[in-house]
């Protein structure tokens, strides 16, 4: 089953291109300290906005820091946020969705109302609200984005549980006197985990985009830690004289998100044969 | 229909109540005493501090302050600003109020026209080079963040070619890039939808009938086929408008446009939380309002949703 899925993914050109991009970003993030030619926070005020040369392959920023090194470390920040948010949303969303779907009734109504209310807030605005309360920073980004993303996962988990509940094996487990928690955790979850994981991975590209957006607005990761979004923010005012910073960061973030989205689309299509040929 | 309307309105009311409670809690949970911020140089002046505390109602019990807050929203004043002392929030907002909706509507119109043209074109050339090229472009359009696209366009069109102003607000030229940048992801989204809908509609019998009776191909495609994709497209337009409105925050920051979104971000940094929260409330109300209108529109054209138990 698993190798069939892999073969189906590999058959799609877009997914292969996306997968290659994602793999190189992940490797860059893992090997960042080895790859970066300079420390990302080493300032050199006598060498600000330097043009690309042998020492600084992409030049330096407004504080004389090596742009290439900061881009490489920035990959870590993006992926760390993406991974944390996916983990939090999966844990929260799946727990809420499964409990709501399995027990139904008032529990279901309560949780789904909460989901509706969160979804009624525009995403960027909700993130601004969280940033105002917690103050800008990495934790703020993770909390804000998790808050925005868990309702989608909860809805999906709920609908998947509703389907599984019709199956005979659930009735059998109930008749055997298995406690509800065990049925949810040991019997139903393994059957819906695949679909949930794919759905969560499809969202990584958008989470990385949202992280960059918050950092671009100044509400995200704070100095001296580099984020691609805040690098673009720093680079925009100097676009006329020293375009290297803003342009290179824009290029990297654009490519990364395209990679994640191509891979996500490919995974989704491979899992859903109905979409073939569309 | 009336029951459907009542149910939607009651959920709108619930969202508004939650939004009001959350923003009130946010203003009060925040670190730091606003009066100290307001006084800045005069922080030793006890009497002035007491006067400000009374003027802002900060000496009242929390319940009293909440009533005051709700009263401020109902009268449209939204309380007093922390940054501009003695000034009602509504006066701080007034200049910016119209800018974000204008930007969002302009971008929506552009996205609908451009997206439909591209999507229909892709559907008509299905599985050929043009279709593939368009699909790749659409993924890029949906993937690259606003500010990264803006960087490329400003560098190319404004810095290198000198065609358009880099930033600012007030002239038509200054509005072009912000609207285009804002419209790109939505255009890609519309194009994707239009392509999918068209592929479905083009296989229907009535399209074959229209062709068989000898109608010009242009009429078949635009009036008969595309005409039938308009309802789902119009529905998605409503959803997009809400997204576009909140995305103006980013575009206004890039292009230095004095709209509501930039005001909200500026206000957070200036610790002027009443202004920031007023913008959050306005955006939320607007977003929720649009969603209701979309549902109503859907209910009008599709009785199954209107009469169904869950909407």
Mean pLDDT lowest among A11-15, A186-190, B116-120: A11-15
Reference A209, options A258, A246, A168, A243; nearest CA is A258
Q: According to the 3-state scheme, what is the secondary structure of chain B?
A: CHHHHHHHHHHHHHHHHHHHHHHHHHHHHCCCCHHHHHHHHHCCCHHHHHHHHHHCCCCCCHHHHHHHHHHHHHCCCCCECCCCCCCEHHHHHCCCCCHHHHHHHHHHHHHHHHHHHHHHHHHHCCCCHHHHHHHHHHHHHHHCCHHHHHHHHHHHHHHHCCCCCCCCCCCHHHHHHHHHHHHHHHHHHHHHHHHHHHHHHCCCHHHHHHHHCCCCHHHHHHHHHHHHHHHHHHHHHHHHHHHHHHHHHHHHHHCCCCCHHHHHHHHHHCCCHHHHHHHHHHHHHHHHHHHHHHHHHHHHHCHHHHHCCCC
Considering only CA atoms, give the Rg of chain A. Answer: 22
Domains in chain A with CATH codes: 69-276 (1.10.3720.10)
Task: Say if residue B163's pLDDT is above 70.
Answer: yes
Q: Rounded to an integer, what distance in angstroms lies between the CA atom of residue A126 and that of residue A124?
A: 5
Q: Angle between the A204-216 and B146-153 helix axes, to the nearest 10 degrees?
A: 60
Q: What angle do CA B256, B258, B260 make, to 5 degrees?
A: 120
Q: What angle do CA A89, A95, A97 make, to 5 degrees?
A: 90
Evaluate whether ipTM surpasses 0.95.
no
The DSSP H or E segment spanning A247 is: helix A244-271
**Chain A residues closer than 8 Å to B277 by CB:** 129, 132
Q: How confident is the model at residue B310 (pLDDT cuts 50, 70, 90)?
A: very low
The answer to whether B287 contacts A121, with C-beta atoms less than 8 Å apart, is yes
Give the pLDDT confidence score for residue B304 in this predicted structure.
Answer: 63
| B residues 108-127 closer than 8 Å to A (CB) | none
Chain A interface mutation, best of B32, B103, B139, B148, highest count of A Cβ atoms under 10 Å: B148
The answer to whether A212 contacts B145, with C-beta atoms less than 8 Å apart, is yes
Shortest CA gap A143–chain B (Å): 15
Q: Which residue of B lies nearest to A251 if distances are taken between CA atoms?
A: B148
3-state secondary structure of A184: helix
CB nearest B265 (choices: A128, A209, A260) = A128
Q: Give the residue-averaged pLDDT of A114-128.
A: 82
The tens digit of pLDDT for each residue in B255-302 reads 888 888 888 888 888 888 888 888 888 888 888 888 888 877 777 776
Mean pLDDT lowest among A28-42, B15-29, B243-257, B296-310: B296-310
The tens digit of pLDDT for each residue in B188-232 reads 999 989 988 888 888 888 888 888 888 888 888 888 888 888 878
The tens digit of pLDDT for each residue in A69-102 reads 899 999 999 999 999 999 999 999 999 999 999 9
Give the pLDDT confidence score for residue B97 in this predicted structure.
Answer: 84
Q: How confident is the model at residue A3 (pLDDT cuts 50, 70, 90)?
A: low
The pTM of this model reads: 0.85
């Amino acid at each position: 089953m698993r190798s069939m899925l892999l073969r189906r993914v590999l058959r799609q050109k877009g997914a292969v291109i996306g997968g290659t991009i994602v793999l190189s970003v992940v490797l860059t993030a893992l090997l960042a300290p080895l790859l970066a030619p300079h420390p990302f926070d080493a300032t050199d005020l006598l060498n600000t906005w330097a043009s690309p040369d042998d020492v600084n392959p992409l030049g330096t920023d407004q504080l004389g820091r090596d742009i290439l090194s900061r881009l490489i470390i920035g990959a870590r920040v993006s992926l760390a946020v993406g991974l944390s948010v996916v983990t939090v949303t999966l844990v929260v969303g799946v727990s809420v969705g499964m409990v709501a779907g399995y027990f139904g009734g008032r529990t279901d109504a309560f949780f789904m109302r909460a989901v509706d209310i969160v979804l009624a807030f525009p995403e960027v605005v909700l993130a601004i609200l969280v940033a105002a309360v917690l103050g800008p920073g990495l934790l703020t980004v993770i909390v804000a984005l998790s808050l925005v993303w868990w309702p989608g996962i909860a809805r999906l988990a709920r609908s998947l549980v509703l389907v599984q509940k019709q199956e005979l094996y659930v009735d059998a487990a109930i008749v055997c006197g298995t406690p509800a928690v065990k049925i949810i955790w040991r019997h139903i979850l393994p059957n819906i985990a695949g679909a949930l994981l794919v759905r969560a991975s499809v969202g990584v590209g958008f989470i990385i985009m949202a992280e960059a957006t918050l950092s671009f607005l100044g509400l995200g990761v704070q100095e001296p830690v580099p984020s691609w979004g805040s690098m673009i923010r720093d680079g925009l005012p100097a676009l006329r004289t020293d375009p290297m910073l803003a342009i290179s960061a824009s290029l990297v973030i654009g490519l990364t998100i395209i990679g994640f989205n191509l891979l996500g689309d490919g995974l989704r299509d491979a899992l859903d044969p109905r979409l073939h040929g569309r | 229909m009336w029951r459907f309307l009542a149910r939607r309105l009651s959920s709108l009311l619930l969202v508004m109540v939650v939004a009001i409670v959350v923003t009130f809690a946010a203003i009060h949970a925040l670190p730091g005493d606003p009066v100290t911020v307001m006084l800045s140089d005069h922080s030793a002046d006890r009497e002035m501090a007491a006067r400000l505390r009374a003027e802002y109602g900060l000496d009242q019990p929390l319940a009293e302050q909440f009533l005051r807050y709700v009263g401020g929203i109902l009268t449209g004043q939204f309380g007093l600003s922390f940054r501009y002392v003695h000034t009602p929030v509504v006066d701080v907002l007034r200049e910016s109020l119209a800018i974000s909706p204008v930007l969002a509507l302009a971008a929506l119109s552009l996205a609908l026209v451009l997206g439909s043209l591209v999507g229909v074109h892709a559907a008509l050339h299905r599985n050929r080079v043009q279709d593939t090229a368009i699909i790749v472009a659409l993924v890029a359009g949906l993937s690259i963040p606003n500010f990264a696209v803006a960087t490329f366009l400003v560098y190319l069109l404004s810095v290198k070619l000198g065609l358009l102003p880099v930033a600012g607000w007030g002239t038509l030229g200054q509005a072009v890039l912000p609207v285009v940048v804002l419209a790109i992801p939505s255009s890609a989204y519309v194009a994707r939808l239009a392509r999918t809908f068209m592929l479905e509609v083009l296989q229907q019998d009535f399209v074959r009938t229209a062709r068989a009776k000898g109608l010009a191909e242009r009429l078949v495609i635009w009036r008969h086929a595309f005409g039938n994709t308009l309802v789902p497209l119009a529905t998605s337009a409503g959803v997009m408008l809400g997204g576009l409105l909140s995305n103006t925050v980013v575009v206004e920051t890039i292009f230095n446009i004095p709209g509501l979104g930039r005001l909200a971000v500026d206000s957070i940094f200036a610790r002027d939380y009443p202004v920031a929260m007023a913008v959050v409330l306005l955006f939320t109300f607007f977003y929720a309002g649009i969603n209701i209108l979309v549902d109503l529109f859907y209910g009008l054209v599709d009785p199954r949703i209107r009469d169904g138990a869950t909407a």
